[in-house]
Structure formats: C-alpha cells, structure tokens
C-alpha cells in the first residue's frame, strides 16, 4: 500500500495545507508507511492511477480540496481516500448550506443569512444592510460562505462597518454569510470514526490572547491559549461532544471531522461550522484533541487509512 498525501493546491489556504500535509506525511512515515507527498496538478491523476494499492489523504484546505471536487474525482477513479465523500464535503464546505442542514437536524445554530453580492445590487445595499442590522443585530459576523482559517471573516460592531466587512468577504467568493455573533466560549470538537462507531474527542477551548481567533491567532505559535478539555462543566462538555457527533452525522461525514462551536452564556453549544479536512499543523486544533485522547497523529491517520481501504 502507498499513501498519497495531497497538499498545497491553489486555494487561499495553500500555506496551511502544505504544513498540514508535511506533518501527516512525517507522522505516517515514522510508523513505517510508504508515503508520497504531492501537490495538485496535471500529474496528480496519472500518479494516483499508476500507484499500486493507493490510499489518498486529501490534506487540502479550501478550494477543490474541501469543495468536494477532488474527492469526486477520487471516487470516480475508485481510489480509497480518507475523509468525507465529495457530496458531503461540498455540502459542509458551504457554511450557508451546512448551517441549514444542521438546523434541520434539530441542532442549535446561530441565526444566519447567506447573500450573494448581486442581491445587494438588486435590492439596494443601504436598505438591505439596514434590514440585516435590524433582524440579526450587532455585533454580527460576516464570513465568506466558502472559506476557512477565518480568512475574510470579520466581527462587525455597527452598521458603519458592515459594508467594508462585506466587501472583504466578497473578495473570497461571491456569497457571504452574515450571522449573529454569540458571546461565549469557543470550542472545537473533533469526531473520529472507529471500530466502535463515532467518537467525539475532548473539546478544545480556544482563548486567543488578542481576543479574536483570526488567521494570525490561529497560526502564530503562542498567540492562542488552548485548554483541553475545555474548562466547562462536564454536562456542557458532553453536550458539545453530542453536538459534534450529531452534526457529523447530519452532514453525512465520515472518518474524521471537526465542528467549531460556541457555548453560549446559558451553557448551550451552538454550531458554527464543520470542517471536512481539519488542519494538522503545529498549531491546529484536531492534533490537540488527539493528544488529549492519548493518541498520536500517526496512529490516527494509520487507522483512518485502513478504514478508507475498508470503505472502498
């Protein structure tokens, strides 16, 4: 068997992806796996097809790594791969659709509206922005609907700053989501599929020293404090884990996922977004959860590779 780790790509998160890919590759090699590390390009399909007994790990963040496109191709080729199918990835990667699916499953979500920029042209931006403020209220969050690592995401305190935040989000794609900002404890809960079914790992609490978990706080070592398991009552931690498993199932995910959520003042965990290719960098959240659960990165991916082969 040869494991093919795909990282890089042309998305805005290429740098993060390369770092994730490198770590997973090293972890698997240290356990004796034969691993080929590759980027996305015209030589990818020939590589996959010419490799004997391949298992692919799409360690791509954003773009065609998470929007399902590459996974559809792998499915077409009949190549086993780690992580959700193309369809589930596509659905999860789009925050506006994922939030709706999770809400329909009866889970708590924040109030959200997804808007392409053209709607502001058609209806007039001032009136629509006024309506957003009236209905959702400030502070609110503006995010690109299909992006990760908090790129293009901004907390907006008042109407005056809303237009600039929307312009910033639309630089990452044609649709932005606007959602109510919920004050609370930020958590990331990793869900891992094992022989005994789905298992939610200890929730990681995120405490950025700057107060905002933006790109800088995510990838600068030392800029954020992580507490695992989160400093919350046991019943709240359990509720957070249940939410992550339920979201994983509602979104049709498999093998591995990470759900980002916020625990509101009343102790309710609220779904923010799902991740089909959680980051595996030195400062990423899922590896912290593995560690808290007593697992090593290589051990996790070894087992996922075997699981992917079995799912073929």
Partner 1 sequence: MSADVPRHDTRLDRFVDSYAARTHGMKVSAVRALFAVANRPEIVSLAGGMPNIHDLPLGDIASNVAEMILTNGAKVMQYGSGQGEPRIREQICDVMALEGISAHPDDVMISAGSQQGLDLVTRIFCDPGDVVLAESPSYVGAIGTFLSYQAEVVHVAGDDCGIDPDALRETVARLEAAGRRIKFLYTIPNYNNPSGITQPWERRVEVLGVCRELGILVVEDNPYGLLSLDADPVPAMRSVDSDVIYLGSFSKTFAPGFRVGWVLAPHAVREKLVLAQESATLCPPVFSQFAISTYLEHSDWQGQIDAFRTMYRTRRDAMLKALADHMPPGTSWTHPIGGFFVWVTLPEGIDAQAMLPRGVDARVAFVPGAAFFADGQGARNARLSYCFPPAERIIIGVERFADVVRNELDVLDIFGVRAPTKHPQAAGPGAETY
Binding-site ranges for partner 1 (CB under 8 A): 10-16, 18, 117, 120-121, 125-126, 129, 149, 151-152, 163-164, 166-168, 170-172, 202-203, 209, 214-216, 219-229, 231, 234, 237-238, 241, 282-283, 288, 291-293
Work out how close the CB of 247 gets to partner 1 at its nearest, in angstroms, rounded to a whole number.
17
How distant is the alpha carbon of residue 271 from its chain centre?
Answer: 12
Work out how close the CB of 232 gets to partner 1 at its nearest, in angstroms, rounded to a whole number.
8
Q: How many CA atoms lie within 13 A of 292 on its CB side?
A: 19
Q: Which of 13, 179, 186, 205 is catalytic?
A: 13
In this structure, what are the phi and psi dihedrals at residue 114, rounded to the nearest 5 degrees? -110, 125
**In terms of CB distance, is 91 or 166 closer to partner 1?**
166
> Both tokens of residue 33?
């796996």
Please check if 43 is assigned to a binding site.
no
Please check if 15 is assigned to a binding site.
no
Q: Which of 20, 257, 284, 303 is catalytic?
A: 284
* CB of 232 closer than 8 Å to CB of 185: yes
> Both tokens of residue 266?
């009343």
Question: Interior CA angle at 48 toward 44 and 49, to 5°?
Answer: 115
Work out how close the CB of 264 gets to partner 1 at its nearest, in angstroms, rounded to a whole number.
18
> Both tokens of residue 188?
């990331």
**In terms of CB distance, is 241 or 257 closer to partner 1?**
241
Please check if 291 is assigned to a binding site.
no
Q: Rounded to whole angstroms, how far apart are CA atoms 307 and 80?
A: 9
Check if 149 is active-site: yes
Q: Which of 149, 186, 193, 303 is catalytic?
A: 149
Q: Which residues are catalytic?
A: 13, 149, 284
């Amino acid at each position: 068997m040869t494991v093919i780790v795909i990282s890089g790509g042309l998305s805005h998160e290429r740098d993060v992806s390369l770092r994730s890919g490198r770590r997973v590759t090293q972890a698997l090699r240290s356990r004796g796996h034969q691993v080929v590390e590759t980027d996305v390009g015209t030589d990818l399909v020939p590589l996959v097809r010419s490799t004997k007994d391949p298992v692919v790990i799409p360690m791509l963040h954003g773009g065609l790594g998470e929007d399902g496109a590459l996974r559809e191709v792998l499915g077409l080729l009949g190549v086993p791969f780690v992580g959700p199918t193309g369809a589930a990835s596509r659905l999860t990667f789009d925050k506006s659709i994922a939030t709706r699916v999770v809400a329909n499953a009866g889970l708590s979500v924040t109030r959200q509206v997804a808007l392409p920029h053209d709607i502001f042209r058609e209806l007039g931006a001032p009136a629509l922005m006024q309506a957003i403020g009236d209905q959702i209220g400030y502070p609110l969050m503006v995010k690109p609907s299909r992006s990760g690592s908090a790129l293009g995401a901004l907390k907006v305190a008042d109407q005056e700053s809303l237009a600039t935040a929307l312009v910033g989000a639309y630089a990452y794609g044609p649709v932005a989501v606007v959602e109510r900002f919920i004050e609370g404890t930020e958590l990331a809960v990793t869900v891992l599929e094992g022989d005994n079914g789905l298992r939610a790992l200890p929730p990681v609490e995120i405490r950025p020293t700057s107060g905002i978990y933006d790109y800088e706080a995510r990838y600068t070592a030392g800029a954020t404090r992580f507490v695992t398991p989160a400093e919350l009552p046991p019943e709240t931690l359990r509720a957070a884990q249940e939410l992550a498993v339920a979201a994983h199932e509602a979104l049709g995910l498999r093998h591995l996922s990470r759900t980002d959520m916020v625990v509101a003042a009343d102790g309710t965990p609220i779904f923010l977004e799902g991740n089909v290719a959680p980051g595996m960098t030195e400062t990423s959240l899922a590896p912290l959860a593995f560690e808290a659960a007593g697992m090593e990165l290589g051990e996790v991916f070894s087992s996922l590779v075997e699981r992917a082969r079995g799912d073929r």
